[in-house]
Structure 1
């Protein structure tokens, strides 16, 4: 099917200048797993990486009501972790050897969530981003590097928390206009792309990704990859792209994408993204071991302490399973920080993060040990 450039829903409204080259789109649509190198092969990854994290579900309030998502709670039922709860989770994670505090969110709560806003005000905050900054400072104090995923953000919101995050992220999901995002509070791909662009403008190391199986087609997948690649080429800030299958749950009863679909999508991502960007497939949500030859080089953040609060029905694999996945590919398993090695300098990280990495304490020693294990520090 022929499509013209610049058909991404919401792109014009958010002043996102991303051009999809029809020739590049057609090239990606012809890519299969046989066209990319697997681990240990010439041109393929020399290792598989992962991070140790704790999930910190700061709030389950969300302005959106995506039909595949179990994370959000409606007004009157949404939760907000207290500072004491944040500290307890982070302390437990640091004691378990983690390096990352993954702050998960629903997108910025709208006016329907009056109880959430009242609680924030009681704690001295006028927004969820103001509170996020305090939570990130707690994580740093307890010996973890924050990685926050607060959803769509304005420049002002992201700037408020950028210096206390080692990296940040938002799932693009798709550039398509899909029914799964339908409703009066529709998630706009253009707004997602604007958030990714804002991270580039602010120099924030960034993670994004695609959600496979929510109603997009192959052309949409190719365009999503090319949109991410173009923004990275402009700013150099995308450190990894997650290729994640939508998973059946209490709100989504459709069949997940097939192994063949996932393999082709991963291969397209590897072929369409710059080499420096890692391609991640979450091992608790996909048959990662069978997708390694499609271009996977990262297994994501895995927690020895907390559940995957976004996908609570799908338990994290133990570290031994990650080692077994790497062994099956004939390459080593290497731990990484939530910020990729090439971004660990003054050009990309704020003083609170650099000071934590350089500190002469147990947390600093743990961070540096991870960096030194890759020979990059």
Structure 2
């Protein structure tokens, strides 16, 4: 039983035979992808406040230290990203901050908002005005919260991480796998193209990894909304000294992801955290969002690779590297875009032309 599944009425039929199939999967059982894709983004850490205190996470700051970006800071960051050729504004913040963050709520009131999701909506409006497509990753969300911002996002996301009950999530404000799955399901019900993923090495076992991937696959089979699944190793940092998964583990779990997910769902590895060059034969077809102007605020000790480095990964794999938007092309073609996002893509502006060019043919970073 997945912890929290009953609480959120999560009904998944994960067959033991499917788990066993994935447990026997190895890299030789999957095909390498025909191409590798990536997206140029600018990282916008809206706030470092978070209700959780996961032992591997350096993103959150305690009450009294958590920051909330101002509208002016958001606009300046988005403008720099657009000027650098980015297409995605990646909004991140810790899961819906609780009442301990009194200073942050005072700031929200100063900006004319009662909730962080109301403020996120304004931030998405700023991103669209500056020529970027918003992709918000605000953690667990209720249906009401997601509906507040969904129409202003090209896609959204939350990491499932694991369906297991792990000590790394422990404490009085522990993450709940059922709640994460509920967020993924809510995105499907609202018709939001979605990114999710698993975090490898936080205390879960091999059967847990298989079940996590199969849970994502089943929700996608119901709603058709999962565009990519990230296979991310936990990284050593000032709060986590529990080690990172070795190359053999990453190769095996990446192959499991490819074998366990529907063909149309991309398998992504983050090249600043994972040995991407050694994983491309395990079914990887995406290298994620890469920022030429901002650091990875969730993993600040691990710098983004330059676009030339991504090209080198693709060259080593013998496949082309293509640029994509934060929403995958099939969702555009199948009418998933909301009116504001469709207007941004169709706009007679430099940004709209850039979006359409990428949709039409993709771009090689050497030609950009």
> Do Structure 1 and Structure 2 share a fold, with TM-score over 0.5?
yes
Q: Which residue of the partner structure matches residue 25 of structure 2?
A: 31
Distance 1:113 1:368 in 2: 41
Q: What are the superposed Cα offsets for residues 196-244 of structure 1, whole Å, 9 maximum, x if unpaired?
A: 0000000000000000000000000000000000000000000000000
Distance 2:198 2:267 in 1: 11
Q: Which residue of the partner structure matches residue 95 of structure 2?
A: 107
How many residues in Structure 1 have an aligned counterpart in Structure 2?
363
Distance 1:181 1:93 in 2: 33
Q: Which residue of the partner structure matches residue 257 of structure 2?
A: 269
Tell me, what secondary structure is at the counterpart of 2:121? helix
1:239 aligns with 2:227: yes
Q: What are the superposed Cα offsets for residues 299-338 of structure 1, whole Å, 9 maximum, x if unpaired?
A: 0000000000000000011011000000011110000000
Distance 2:352 2:221 in 1: 32
Superposition RMSD in Å:
0.9
Tell me, what secondary structure is at the counterpart of 1:279? strand
Q: What are the superposed Cα offsets for residues 57-87 of structure 1, whole Å, 9 maximum, x if unpaired?
A: 0000000000000000000000000000000
Distance 2:92 2:21 in 1: 35
Give the one of 266, 286, 289 matched to 1:301: 289
1:15 aligns with 2:9: yes
Give the one of 291, 313, 319 matched to 1:325: 313
Tell me, what secondary structure is at the counterpart of 1:58? strand
- Asked if 2 retains the 8 angstrom alpha-carbon contact of 1:346 and 1:354, the reply is no
Distance 1:267 1:331 in 2: 18
- Asked if 2 retains the 8 angstrom alpha-carbon contact of 1:105 and 1:150, the reply is yes
1:145 aligns with 2:133: yes
Give the one of 49, 52, 56 matched to 2:44: 56
Distance 2:281 2:242 in 1: 27
Distance 1:298 1:343 in 2: 16
1:160-309, aligned counterparts within 5 Å?
160-309=148-297
Q: What are the superposed Cα offsets for residues 147-183 of structure 1, whole Å, 9 maximum, x if unpaired?
A: 0000000000000100000000000000000000001
Tell me, what secondary structure is at the counterpart of 2:47? coil
Tell me, what secondary structure is at the counterpart of 1:75? coil
Cα offset for 1:347?
3.5
Distance 1:173 1:333 in 2: 27
1:95 aligns with 2:83: yes
- Asked if 2 retains the 8 angstrom alpha-carbon contact of 1:345 and 1:354, the reply is no
List structure 1 segments (4+ residues) > 4 angstroms apart after TM superposition: none
- Asked if 2 retains the 8 angstrom alpha-carbon contact of 1:10 and 1:190, the reply is yes
Task: Give 5+ residue unaligned stretches, structure 2.
Answer: 364-368
Distance 2:242 2:201 in 1: 9
Task: Give 5+ residue unaligned stretches, structure 1.
Answer: 1-6, 39-44
Q: Which residue of the partner structure matches residue 366 of structure 2?
A: none
